[in-house]
Amino acid sequence: MMRSSDYIALEDQFGAHNYHPLDVVINRAEGVWVWDVDGAKYLDFLAAYSAVNQGHCHPRIVKAMVEQACKVGLTSRAFRNDQLGLFCQELCELTGFAKVLPMNTGAEAVETAIKAARKWGYTKKGIPEDKAEILVFDGNFHGRTTTIVSFSSDAEYKFGFGPFTPGFSILPYGDIDAVRKAMNPNVAAILIEPIQGEAGIVAPPEGFLRQLRELTTENNCLLVADEIQSGLGRTGTMFAYEHEEIRPDIVIIGKALSGGMYPVSAILADDEVMGVFKPGEHGSTYGGNPLGAAVAREALKVLVEEGLAQRSAELGQYFMEKLSKFNSPHIKTIRGKGLWIGVVLNKDAGGARRFCEALQNAGLLCKETHEHVIRIAPPLTISREEIDWALERLEEALTSA
């Protein structure tokens, strides 16, 4: 029989080494729990970077997936299918936008938003050809394509992958004066994560998004919110931008849109923006396929009907209160919103990785982000008792040497 070490050896021999995973080989999952091939059970505190907000293998989503898989999986957009229109309608009704453009991965949806913003800039705003500029922020994470890493501020994401796509300016996250100074008639859009996930769950100063909304409206450019990780209930509201009561021009979603069962992403916008795409100008073989659409429809219904955003708000607050009472020499600060919490460690704590490894041995799967942050992002279906269970293990790990 193969054991964990055998699977790890296989993966290391035949798979590219573009990740540094914890050595836990999962072969089964249910709700907030996962099991490894040796039979050990863990509480999942990462939820696949918030793709599994609805919990692993949610029975309703699995059922929708299996039923659709038995009917038709892929038609391509050369033909129509009976799931796409319903998916778009339900997503529009849920979010208050007029149109949906479906893709598969998050990075593809970000690329789609960039193309929409540029085309809008040329055709609606009158920016001279090839001069469109998009303002982005320090510490951003929007995906891994060559264009997207072109405007990353992280050397690790970029080094060796140039030449880079021009047309982006990187500004300090949260610095409204810097944005004001960077504004010029060629700016088509500002692209922002309302809370930066990969950077370590970093929120801008209160009011920043509102100020960006005012500035983009005054200067006739688009505000594009990347809600791929922060959206769909994670921060205690359907979208993180709701905390500042604004409405972006384009919203990018992915990850939990399918509850972890299938890659589905999309951008949302009103007609003035989405209308820039004409037949033939953008697309994807799998984008809007009936299997993905059926899965996403059910995943959205689960989010709403189980009140997962509200749950995230309540349990997140509870979690944060308990965490802040830990008497740990290693914790520098705790930040976050809803069930999305970054535990920032002191520089001399020896890095977040060693704590994640200790937590793994205690049955809790967390992932460090950058060197010093432990990211906490369980499925939003987690119970208070399960949180208490996790808190005990976290306290043990963070208060012992």
Ligand X SMILES: *Cc1c(COP(=O)(O)O)cnc(C)c1O
Note whether 98 and 271 are within 8 A (CB). yes
Handedness of CA 93, 97, 102, 103 (dihedral sign): negative
- Residue of 58, 23, 61, 55 whose CA lies nearest to 378: 55
Residues 42-61 that bind ligand X (CB under 6 A): 49
- Per CB under 6 A, 369 contacts ligand X: no
- Per CB under 6 A, 233 contacts ligand X: no
Among 53, 95, 211, 229, binds ligand X (CB under 6 A): 229
Could you tell me which residues are beta bridge partners of residue 250? 224, 269
**Residue whose CB is less far from ligand X, 110 or 269:** 110
Q: How many separate helices (H) and strands (E) can be counted in the chain? A: 14, 15
- Residue of 169, 193, 316, 313 whose CA lies nearest to 253: 193
Size of the site for ligand X (CB under 6 A): 14
Phi-psi region of 9 (alpha: psi -120 to 50; beta: other; left: phi over 0): alpha
Among 106, 167, 233, 248, binds ligand X (CB under 6 A): 106
Closest approach of Cβ 143 to ligand X, in Å? 4
- Placement of tokens 């708000």 in the chain: 313
Residues 6+ apart with CB under 8 A from 369: 197, 198, 199, 200, 201, 342, 352, 375
Catalytic residue among 36, 44, 208, 226: 226
Q: Is 270 a catalytic residue?
A: no
Q: Is 226 a catalytic residue?
A: yes
Closest approach of Cβ 49 to ligand X, in Å? 6
Q: Is 255 a catalytic residue?
A: yes
- Per CB under 6 A, 316 contacts ligand X: no
Among 53, 68, 81, 105, binds ligand X (CB under 6 A): 105
**Residue whose CB is less far from ligand X, 46 or 127:** 46
- Per CB under 6 A, 257 contacts ligand X: no
Report which residue's Cβ sits closest to ligand X: 106
- Per CB under 6 A, 234 contacts ligand X: no
Closest approach of Cβ 105 to ligand X, in Å? 4
- E strand or H helix at 268: strand 265-269
- Per CB under 6 A, 228 contacts ligand X: yes
- Per CB under 6 A, 193 contacts ligand X: yes
Closest approach of Cβ 338 to ligand X, in Å? 15
R_g over Cα of the chain:
21
Instruction: For residue 85, give the amino acid letter.
Output: G
Among 91, 107, 179, 222, binds ligand X (CB under 6 A): 107
- Which of these segments, 22-30, 33-41, 141-149, 370-378, binds ligand X (CB under 6 A)? 141-149
**Residue whose CB is less far from ligand X, 233 or 254:** 254
Catalytic residue among 99, 119, 255, 367: 255
- Residue of 310, 318, 306, 281 whose CA lies nearest to 115: 281
Instruction: For residue 387, give the amino acid letter.
Output: I
Could you tell me which residues are beta bridge partners of residue 269? 99, 250
Looking only at the bridges linking them, the beta strands covering 133-137 and 187-192 are: parallel
Backbone angles phi, psi at 222, to 5 degrees: -90, 145
Residues 6+ apart with CB under 8 A from 15: none
Closest approach of Cβ 24 to ligand X, in Å? 20
- Per CB under 6 A, 254 contacts ligand X: yes
Instruction: For residue 376, give the amino acid letter.
Output: I
Among 174, 197, 338, 378, binds ligand X (CB under 6 A): 197
Please give the residue ranges that form the binding site for ligand X (CB under 6 A): 49, 105-107, 110, 141-143, 193, 197, 226, 228-229, 254
